[in-house]
Amino acid sequence: MHTIIEPFKIKMVEPIRMTTRPDREARIREAGYNVFGLHTDDVLIDLLTDSGTGSMSMDQWAGMIRGDEGYAGARSFYRFQQVVRDLTGLTHIIPAHQGRAAERILFGVAVQKGDVVPNNTHFDTTRANIEFQGAEALDLVPDVDTEAYAPFKGNMDTDRLRHVLATTPRERVPLVMLTVTNNATGGQPVSMANIKEVRAICDDFGVPLFFDACRFAENAWFIKLREPGYAEKPLRDIAREMFSYCDGATMSAKKDAIVNIGGFLAMNSDSLADRARTMLILTEGFPTYGGLAGRDLEAIAQGLDEVLDEDYMRYRIASTAYLGNHLDALGVPILKPTGGHAIYVDAGRMLPHLAPKHLPGKSLEVELYLEGGIRACEIGTVMFGKTDPVTHEQHPARHELVRLAIPRRVYTQSHVDYVIEVFEQLVTRKDTFRGFTFDRESPVLRHFTSTFRPL
């Protein structure tokens, strides 16, 4: 059999309000042409993010009922702690209400003004939390052709990492991070060989290595598919080997743990964990609940088990590739090979008549919504560019991408076929798409709350 079916049955549905183009024209204008400002009732297919948008299983919902309310000594915490310890091998497990909260705590206690934090590529909240401390978030991923095939485009450039660590005072590099998979460069995986090499370099310079592990299971699956020596190894064992090379991790459980809310910070350092728990108590809650109810911790523990089911992961990756392969056949330039959680359309190549300063990703993002009610996410100059404070010119991002993030266990093939049909319509008139400029630019994480106007 060549058809990979969904390894689950659907027992609850949520209605989709079918909108018209005039409806959508009014809604996007009211939102200042920022899709983050749209109401979900005005969106037909929501591909904005895979974070907290998945469908929980019956066992996760059962855990929500079974779990306690949570506070000091919550029993659900101890199951959650054991599951995370068994998976990661890390000693200190500190819950938080989501990934960015874990990042804020980690960088708040570990990073100071003037520090440098190398990463393959920092995603938006990671970068913002580091820069908020007055430190530099340094990306060390090789510049790659989006359409050229490479099995592990998410790898860190280890030559550059060694150079950074050799030329920067040790006290200014509190840690190295590795994002698995590498979201900002197309959800591309990091190879086990690269993880090992990064670990060895960190050891040479005495620098701890932390993972941004929100999509660790998808990364492990790509290692199983693409890296020699791993095809016959169980997915759980691959994930455990990955974690064996790190000293700590942050995780948004809203991705690969398939829950609506939650995350954690984990590490081996006793002293750093003590400082992190103090910060947790000040800002999130007691260390046995971290801003969550015990029932949320139960759902995370169950999700971390379910995501390592190989039938689920085979379906997950195949369904994402299905969308990518059909867009490629239409001539839509996408980042290749397809990643795990999303398809990344190269808006710069699709809309060559729009310069980066005219925000081609924003243009495609808006047209997707107008044509078909599809909400996607620009990952280009809006998200990662900067405005020159003197000339007010845009310093563009490396790539002008639009992410079509696939929620876990939510949409069927007919929903995806609809997305493909919308792109068929857009391809016929892409040369007419207008550029955009900022109307009101937010100073931090500007893609979330800025407003825009069409040129």
Per-residue pLDDT of the chain (455 residues; tens, 9 = 90+): 678 888 999 988 999 999 999 999 999 999 999 999 999 999 999 999 999 999 999 999 999 998 887 777 788 999 999 999 999 999 999 999 999 999 999 999 999 999 999 999 998 889 999 999 999 999 998 877 778 889 999 999 999 999 999 999 999 999 999 999 998 888 899 999 999 999 999 999 999 999 999 999 999 999 999 999 999 999 999 999 999 999 999 999 999 999 999 999 999 999 999 999 999 999 999 999 999 998 999 999 999 999 999 999 999 999 999 999 999 999 999 999 999 999 999 999 999 999 999 999 999 999 999 999 999 999 999 998 888 888 878 888 888 999 999 999 999 999 999 999 999 999 999 999 999 999 998 888 888 899 999 99
Predicted pLDDT of residue 2: 74
CA separation for the pair 383, 450 (Å, rounded): 10
**CB under 8 Å to 205, separation ≥6 — which residues?**
165, 166, 170, 173
pTM summary value: 0.93
**What local confidence, expressed as pLDDT, does residue 271 receive?**
97
- pLDDT score recorded for residue 191: 98
Find the farthest-apart pair of alpha carbons in the chain and give their distance in angstroms, rounded.
Answer: 61
Say if CB 146 and CB 207 are below 8 A apart: no
Q: How far is CA 98 from CA 22, 26, 62, 251, 409, in A?
A: 36, 33, 21, 8, 20
Q: Which residues pair with 192 in a beta bridge?
A: none
Going by the DSSP 8-state scheme, the letter that residue 136 receives in this structure is E
Domain residue ranges in the chain: 21-50+314-454, 58-306
Q: What is the pLDDT of residue 159?
A: 97
CA distances from 177 to 112, 208, 274, 399 (A): 16, 9, 20, 22
Q: Is the previous residue joined to 337 through a cis bond, with omega within 30 degrees of 0? A: yes
Indicate if 58-306 has the same CATH topology as 21-50+314-454.
Answer: no
Assign domain 58-306 to its CATH architecture: 3-Layer(aba) Sandwich (3.40)
Give the integer Cα–Cα distance in Å for 235 and 308: 6
User: Is the domain 21-50+314-454 a CATH 3.90.1150.10 member?
Assistant: yes
